[in-house]
Chains A and B, each alone.
Chain A
Amino acid sequence: MIFCAAFFVFTVAASAQSGQKFFTRDGKVKFDATAASSPEKIEALSNSATCVLDAANGNFQWAVLIKGFQFEKSLMQEHFNENYLESGKYPKATFIGKITNLGEVNLAKDGTYNGIVSGQMTIHGVTKEVTANGALTVGGGNVKVNAGFSLQLADYNVSIPSLVSDKVAKEAKILVDATLVPKQ
């Protein structure tokens, strides 16, 4: 019996470390471009980002639909879609990269690890190399991902008219929060 249990634990751990993929379609992505002088928050949230993490090689992919971002103010949402990110032309933002310090992250063992992720971010039709740090928390068979990073809107050809430059920051803060479950 003990042998069976040990064998089970061993095989689960081994499979988690080798071919296991983790996945979610409920990732939260928060976008915040509130300028320091702005009286109102320029922020939006999507609850439907997809994310896939391959435990075998650390490959890490994200995708979020621009039209899924909800703002508190309808007018902001309209400008975000039509003028700034042109979501009719560029409906998706993606990140394709990998965890570069996979040796320090044990996805088969419960705990919180600092993950360094590096790869290509595509927003508004422009692709840039980015690196970000985040927390990977392994527990209950799932992997929780929490990360925050900033990006320059100008890098992605998003220009902010001078009329609203006191409200909209040049740098947007992005926060991601997702619980990835083992993919069947």
Chain B
Amino acid sequence: MILGLGLIGVAIGFAIWNKPHENMAKSKAEAAVEATALFKEYNTDENAANAKFLGKTIAVTGRVKESSKTEGGPAKVTLETGDEFAVICELDALSQHARTDFPVGETVTLKGKCDGLNLDVQLSRCVEVK
């Protein structure tokens, strides 16, 4: 009996320890926002914007300014904001992507986790929303 409970405990512990990362394709966006508006909110009041977006899955729509792949790093899509700085979406390493190269000027929607403001607004674990 005690051994049985112990084994169940170990199994649960093991499952929690190995729980998978969130599936971004299925992750529900808690907010949908234009890249320009998102950047403006961060640029105006970083703390207020963090309270609203930080750590959340959000869908951002904007015009592609740049699509890049750094050496040994992930693909990133930069969305225009009308400012020198932008909204940068790092594509998720754990998801399948129909494409990782986005033509400059195209309007796209990407969904990912909002990491905050570091000159640009940065999102990680992004997937394209069709």
Contacts and interface: CB of A to CB of B under 8 A. Distances in A.
Nearest to A47: B73
Which of B18, B70, B72, B118: most chain A CB closer than 10 A?
A: B118
A48 B77 CA distance: 12
A65 B17 contact: no
Interface string A88-131: 10011000000000000000000000000000000000000000
A22 B90 CA distance: 22
A66 B90 CA distance: 15
Where chain A touches its partner, the secondary structure class is: strand
B118 A67 contact: no
A63 B22 contact: no
Contacts of B93: 70
Given A26-B76, A74-B22, A75-B17, A47 B115 contact: no
Interface string B76-105: 100000000000101001000000000000
A28 B88 contact: no
B18 A65 contact: no
Nearest to A67: B115
Interface stretch (B2-10, B32-40, B57-65, B119-127): B119-127
Given A47-B70, A47-B90, A67 B54 contact: yes
Contacts of A88: 50, 54-55
A159 B18 CA distance: 23
Contacts of B16: 75
B28 to A, nearest CB: 17
15 contacts: A25-B118, A26-B68, A26-B70, A47-B70, A48-B90, A48-B115, A50-B120, A63-B118, A64-B118, A67-B115, A68-B122, A70-B93, A70-B125, A74-B21, A74-B22
